[in-house]
Structures are given as C-alpha cells and as structure tokens.
Amino acid sequence: MFKQDTNKRGHAIALYSGGLDSTLAILLILRQNIKVTAVTFKTHFGCDFDDRASSGANLYSVAEKFGFDVKLIHLGQKFVDIVVNPKYGWGKNMNPCTDCRILMLKEAHEIMELLNADFIITGEVLGQRPMSQVRDKLNLVVNKTGLKGKLLRPLSAKLLPPTEPELNGLVNREEMENIQGRSRKRQIELAHQFDLDDYPNPASGCLLTDVNYSMRLRDLIAHTDNISFDDINLLRVGRHFRFDATTKIIIGRNEVDNNAILAYRRPHHIKLEALNCGSPITLLIGNQSEENIVRAAAITARYTSLRRESRVEITVGEESEGRVYVVVPASDDEIQKFVLR
C-alpha cells in the first residue's frame, strides 16, 4: 500500500485522536511517501487512551502497523483557561471547539517549526460538525493560527483552496478526498482500502460534550475561584451534590470511584464512610458546619449496604480519630434537592 522508500519526500505533522478520520488523513499522506509525525493532545477533559471504548484506543497499534510516530502532549492549564473562558464560545454543552482547535494547531505549529516539518494535517471533514467544521470556522482557524497555506485537510482537500504542499507538488491533490457532511460511507470505504479494520465508532471522547459532566463543570466554575486539576479530575467520578454556594459532596459509586476520590482528595476535604459494611467514600468540600456534616452523613448512609436500616453509623474523618455520627439514611426526595447528576 505504501512506498517503502526511506528517503521521504516531505514531513507532515498530524493532529491525531486515534479515531477514523484522523487516521485516514494520515494514511492518505503516508501513501505519498511523506513522513508523518502524529501529535495527540491530552487534556483533563479528554478520553483515556487505554480505554478501548475511547477514540484514542488504537493510537500505538495503528501507528506501528502503518509506520508513523506518535507524540503525546498534555495541554494542562492552557486548555483549562479556554474551557472556563472561550473566546469563540461553547458548543451545545461546555465544549469550546473552535478555541480548542486553535490552541491545538498553535501547539502543532510550534512542533512543525521545531522539527522543520513542511505542513500540518488534520482529519477534519467539511460540514461534519456544526460548530467547528463549517467553512467559515475552518477559515477562522487558519487565520488565527498563522497556518495559511500550511494546513491541509486531506479528507476534504478538493473542496478547499489548495495549500502550499499541493501547489508545489509535494502532495498530489488528485489523491486527496472531497468528503463533505456527516455520512461515514466514504470513510468506511477508505478504511477497507487501507486494511484498517479496527477503529472506534464515531463519537467524541471529550467529556465537555457530555450533558451531565457539563452540568458539574458549570457548577464548579460558578462556585470556585481557583480551580485545581484535582477539582477537575473529581468531576469525572462519583455522584455530586451541591448543598450551598460553598459546599458540595462527592460520593463514590463503586470501588474504582472510591479509589479515585481518595487519590484526588486534598487536605481540606473531609472524608465520610460507614465502616464494616459496603460503603462509598464521601468527600465533603466547603463549609464543614454541623448541619452540612449531618446532611452529608445521611446521604452517605443512603448509598451503603445498610441503607434500609433505621440508623447507620458514619465515620467522619480518619478511621483512627474520626467522629461517629448515627444518622437516618436520607430519602430519595431529600437527595433530589441537592443532586447535580
């Protein structure tokens, strides 16, 4: 399928999620004997790349099969800043798609210059996503990243103005695609042509597109002056409840949640749990008034294996020195007053 000439004709930097579109964009360039260095950006709001259900499931296996390198880069606080205050707004939920694309391409631009590469490619498809992949947004991104002529979108290239690598003959424009819209028919045909038989279903791995996660994030932004990475990581686990403007609790759903909650716990968080039974770990964050502690203990009791008992003992603080509260498990009606989903 690909030329084996070790003297590559050029070098492209690819934005690579591990999904079908970004993979196909890379393969279309590889078959023209152009070296590709794929860059995968991680954020605190993205998918886990070792999760087979995520868009990044095959990052390394596909790269090894077809012969390209993958570099992982974490965007850290830069990405948090645009989520909290995106210049071009959010999508349906908390996804700042245009700002996200601009940030990633600016980072890729720096990598391109560092590696002395020739151009950048993405798996974007014209008209596929209403916020970020319409023609005016594609043009906006090019202008804001300083990549005019250097940003090639192989899956829709024939529908877009020619880029420098096409004009100078580095890339054969006739071997690019003219895909438009949300249909996946042509991508699936290409996948078969390339013998790409293990790719994820089309879906976003970004938590910012999830309704319930976005609700939690809005709540965090509204009630927290200085958001930490631990605060953000905790949004991904457990059940969340808001008591007042300064106080919330997080209750684990299972052992995985419990372990994550303990890992992201900070010194000012109070831990609650029922001992000697099946119990979630609960974190009380904020106002540690007696009223809030009792309320947190009652909701914790509701999710223990003793939820049908008339009284449940809840340890507040560390097991060796914590206080024990005897509470009535909260009713579902009481819980609904505070739940964030």
Stretch among 96-100, 174-178, 202-206 having the lowest mean pLDDT: 202-206
In the sheet that holds 119-121, the strands lie side by side as 69-74, 35-42, 11-15, 119-121, 151-152
Stretch among 16-20, 205-209, 308-312 having the lowest mean pLDDT: 205-209
**CB contact at 8 A, 284 and 298:** no
Domain interval for residue 121: 11-193
Residues 273 and 226 in one domain: yes
**pLDDT given for residue 54 in this prediction:** 43
Helix (H) or strand (E) holding 214: helix 211-223
Q: Which of 107, 90, 102, 86 is nearest to 40 (CA)?
A: 107
Total domains in the chain come to: 2
Residues 255 and 185 in one domain: no
Residues 181 and 230 in one domain: no
Phi, psi of 119 (to 5 degrees): -165, 175
**pLDDT given for residue 341 in this prediction:** 72
Residue 4 lies in a domain: no
pLDDT at 50 over 70: no
pLDDT at 15 over 60: yes
Residues 179 and 273 in one domain: no
Residues 111 and 253 in one domain: no
pLDDT digits (tens, 9 = 90+) for 63-83: 999 999 999 999 999 999 999
Stretch among 28-32, 57-61, 94-98, 274-278 having the lowest mean pLDDT: 57-61
**CB contact at 8 A, 4 and 33:** no
Phi, psi of 112 (to 5 degrees): -55, -45
Q: Compare 321 and 296 and report the one with higher pLDDT.
A: 296
Phi-psi label, residue 188: left if phi above 0, alpha if psi -120 to 50, beta otherwise: alpha
pLDDT at 179 over 50: yes
Q: Over pLDDT 70: what percentage of the chain? A: 92
pLDDT digits (tens, 9 = 90+) for 109-158: 999 999 999 999 999 999 887 666 788 889 999 999 999 999 999 999 99
Residues 72 and 182 in one domain: yes
Stretch among 111-120, 145-154, 202-211, 312-321 having the lowest mean pLDDT: 202-211
d(CA 8, CA 12): 11
Would you place residue 55 in the very low, low, confident or very high pLDDT band (cuts 50, 70, 90)? very low
Q: Which residues pair with 315 in a beta bridge?
A: 273, 324
pLDDT at 53 over 60: no
Q: Which residues pair with 247 in a beta bridge?
A: 244
Which of these three, 193, 228, 248, is where a domain ends? 193
How confident is the model over 150-175, as a mean pLDDT?
Answer: 97
How confident is the model over 18-43, as a mean pLDDT?
Answer: 96
Which of these three, 160, 193, 226, is where a domain ends? 193
User: What average pLDDT does the structure give for the chain?
Assistant: 91
Residues 170 and 226 in one domain: no
* Residue 264, both tokens: 């992201």
pLDDT digits (tens, 9 = 90+) for 272-299: 999 989 999 999 999 999 999 999 999 9
b vs e for 240-255, b when ≥16 Cβ sit within 10 Å of the residue's Cβ?
A: bbbbeeebbbbbbeee
Residues 56 and 184 in one domain: yes
pLDDT at 161 over 60: yes
How confident is the model over 247-276, as a mean pLDDT?
Answer: 96
**pLDDT given for residue 58 in this prediction:** 64
Which of these three, 161, 193, 225, is where a domain ends? 193
User: What is the pTM (predicted TM-score) of this model?
Assistant: 0.87
Residue 155 lies in a domain: yes
* 38 exposure class (CB count in 10 Å sphere: 0-12, 13-18, 19+): buried
**pLDDT given for residue 52 in this prediction:** 37
